[in-house]
Amino acid sequence: MADERLQFHEMGLDDRLLKAVADLGWSQPTLIQEKAIPLALEGKDLLARARTGSGKTAAYAVPVIQRILTSKQIVREQAVRALILVPTKELGQQVKNMIRQLTSYCSRDVRVADISAMADVSTQRPILMEKPDVVVGTPSRVLAHLSAQNLLLHASLEMLVVDEADLLFSFGFEADLKNLLCHLPKIYQSFLMSATFNEEVQALKELLLHNPVILKLQGSQLPDSSQLQQYSIKCEEEDKFLLMYALLKLRLVQGKTLVFVGTVERSYRLKLFLEQFSIPACVLNSELPVQSRCHIITQFNQGFYDYIIATDEQSLADPAASSQPTPGKEKKKKAPEKGRKVKDKEFGVTRGVDFQNISNVINFDFPTTVESYIHRVGRTARADNPGTALSLISHTELTLLADVEEALSGDNADSVLKPYEFKMEEIEGFRYRCRDAMRAVTKQAVREARLKEIKQELLNSEKLKTYFEDNPRDLQLLRHDKDLHPAVVQPHMKNIPDYLVPETLRGIVNPFGGKRRKKRVKTNPEGVLKGSFKKNIQGRNPLKSFRYTGGRNKKAGKASKS
């Protein structure tokens, strides 16, 4: 069947683009790429739904680049020909990086600029004055530049892309988007890419598309059970912390793991709790500047640490960082106490963020909507890689679980969460340690941890922008999983005594006993004693073989003379 799939070289793409695709290691297009690229090259408007990790970014980036290369064979005038709208700064950076990779052999002919990052409009003006071929940005940032006349689109724009379309309205971009349309030409090609089809996507369809081709490529929005295994454990608050301790410390969870919690405060509470046991974890905090968040993700992708705790609170509800609040955004700020919809934003920080090779997703706090669950779990089992999703569910979250199971079951029963067979009584011996750790993680400790990290970012902000640009190797010194230590860490909590390890797990998943012995032999091959004395220990009892030398009598005689 793989041979029947349309290949990149059969799509009429420029040789330079094909060479960049080969360098990326893409042997063949994904399903969304195979279907969308030829239609886009024909000039059709597209509304495409495909699950997270299916290659949607390249599905529109490739035809955008190809059309620009074709246009430049006829018209050499430099102008902005493509506009890509994204809901978050992180996604904007990812899209820019993808386009730069795809244009590595034609970078002089196709230039891209990302204006989604928070910056003063005047500082980004020189970038836009050079008229890059592709502009990437959030709706509010693009509108700000259009209003300042830094960006002119009505005469040159040929293509408009809206990525993660289902997030734009929920992030309060409705007013910005409608105002932005007034600055666009009457005729242009549009692409709407989304992981879900909802009422907001339908509204965007009416606004932006003309007789679109609609692609619904996956019946299920998540991979089947052969690729993604989904489990749930019903437990209460204290047991959630106990389970996290046992799963991570006993290495029952292996590989890079993304842990989702409900609030920023709980993310720091969980990080400080894990620090009590010397389990390093990093918080992807929406309160930190975008450069730092992107650096955290980069270091996580490079394997500097295995566990990252993610959350989106209201502080990330303003992803565009517009200088003037729109009516949509003000409405969102008042919404948290009334309904669930604002909770949809809790998956905003990870939507479009390029987490790589995630083996596991753990829902420490269960998501409040089905869409949020899909986008969280969609961080793992991407492309053809396997993945596991584990949800810890308290009695107050049972209704949310029922909603997810009902939505996912559909025609594919394999997508339903299965109970994780774990005997809580086997880790009951860890409970007293868990309680000790939880007592140490006070509200004051959590507050100090948040303040400490924010202050550190303020001190490092200029270094991140200037110094580390000139000294990229020094970036490795800025680690985001460093211990915060506002809570008292007890050294004995680091290791697990063998007698606490469940019998069923001894010698199988607990590497700590063997690891300690190995380390002791490696670091002190001769031991703390001298070699000659060590031989005596190995051969016979040194106390019985000890020979009297008479040194004590000499000392006694000197003492008597004095």
Domain extents for the chain? 2-216, 230-323+340-504, 519-550
Instruction: Give the pLDDT confidence of 228-240 residue by residue, as tens digits.
Output: 899 999 999 999 9
Mean pLDDT of 280-295: 79
Sheet of 282-284, strand order: 282-284, 307-310, 257-260, 360-363, 387-393, 228-234, 418-419
- State residue 74's pLDDT score: 87
- Name which of 99-113, 190-204, 359-373, 466-480 the model is least confident about: 466-480
More confident residue, 22 or 328: 22
Task: With CA atoms as reference, report the closest residue to 233 among 457, 389, 440.
Answer: 389
Helix (H) or strand (E) holding 371: helix 370-377
CATH superfamily of 2-216: P-loop containing nucleotide triphosphate hydrolases (3.40.50.300)
- Average predicted confidence (pLDDT) for the chain: 77
- State residue 39's pLDDT score: 95
- State residue 319's pLDDT score: 36
In order, the DSSP letters of 135-201 are EEE-HHHHHHHHHTTS---TTT--EEEETTHHHHTTTT-HHHHHHHHTTS-S--EEEEEESS--HHH
Alpha helix ranges (H) inside 385-442 = 398-409, 431-440
At 109, the pLDDT band (50, 70, 90 cuts) reads very high
Report yes or no: 168 and 162 within 8 Å, Cβ to Cβ.
Answer: yes
> From 3.10.20.30, 3.30.390.10, 3.40.50.300, 1.10.730.10, which CATH number describes the 230-323+340-504 domain?
3.40.50.300
Q: What secondary structure, in 3-state letters, does 75-123 show? A: CCCCCCCEEEECCCHHHHHHHHHHHHHHCCCCCCCCCEEECCCCCCHHH
> What is residue 212's DSSP assignment?
P
Residue 380, judged by CB atoms within 10 A of its CB (0-12, 13-18, 19+), counts as buried
- Whole-Å CA distances, 252 to 227, 247, 257: 19, 5, 12
Residue 203 token pair: 């509204």
Instruction: Give the pLDDT confidence of 355-410 residue by residue, as tens digits.
Output: 778 899 999 999 998 878 887 888 888 767 889 999 999 999 999 998 898 888 76
- State residue 191's pLDDT score: 94
Measured CA to CA, the distance from residue 542 to residue 546 in angstroms comes to 6
What is the percentage of the chain residues whose pLDDT exceeds 90? 34
Would 2-216 and 230-323+340-504 be classified into the same CATH topology? yes
What is the percentage of the chain residues whose pLDDT exceeds 70? 70
- State residue 330's pLDDT score: 38
Report yes or no: 360 and 380 within 8 Å, Cβ to Cβ.
Answer: yes
Q: Which amino acid is present at 209?
A: L
pLDDT exceeds cutoff 50 at 200: yes
